[in-house]
Amino acid sequence: MGSPNQFTSFTEFKGTNTQIGFSVKVLFSAINNAAASCKAKLSAIQGRTSSISIGDMFEMQMLMNHLSQLSDMASSVVSASNTALQKMSSAISR
């Protein structure tokens, strides 16, 4: 963010305060990594001609659950930021 002395007064606006952009690249890369893990596990299971073990089933369920949680988290973060931006823009237009 900025240096601590920029925020000394809440009643005075200084043009030196800097806004830092909002980036979701880290969230999307985590989702892509989780999806790649799921695909790799599915490929490994498909490659075997024998039956699927219970351990493989639990591991696949865990990977899919993790992917689902990451996906839900990313969509919630994007939705919350969108809602905040909408509220700020409507407040400005009034």
Rounded to the nearest 10 degrees, the angle between the axes of helix 25-47 and helix 54-93 is 160
Which DSSP category does 7 fall into? G
Question: Per the domain annotation, does 13 fall within a domain?
Answer: no
**Contact of 64 with 71, CB cutoff 8 Å:** no
Question: Per the domain annotation, does 85 fall within a domain?
Answer: yes
pLDDT at 20: 64
Alpha helices in 5-53 (DSSP H): 25-47
pLDDT at 1: 45
Question: Per the domain annotation, does 50 fall within a domain?
Answer: yes
Range of the domain at 52: 23-93
Question: Per the domain annotation, does 54 fall within a domain?
Answer: yes
pLDDT at 66: 94
Question: Per the domain annotation, does 8 fall within a domain?
Answer: no
Provide the residue type at 28 as one letter: F
Of residues 77, 60, 72, 64, the one with CA closest to residue 25: 77
Query: Taking the chain (94 residues) in consecutive chunks of 10 residues, what is each chunk's mean pLDDT?
Result: 50 63 81 94 86 89 94 91 89 78
Domain count for the chain, please give it.
1
Tokens at 4, concatenated? 């601590």
Whole-structure pTM value: 0.65
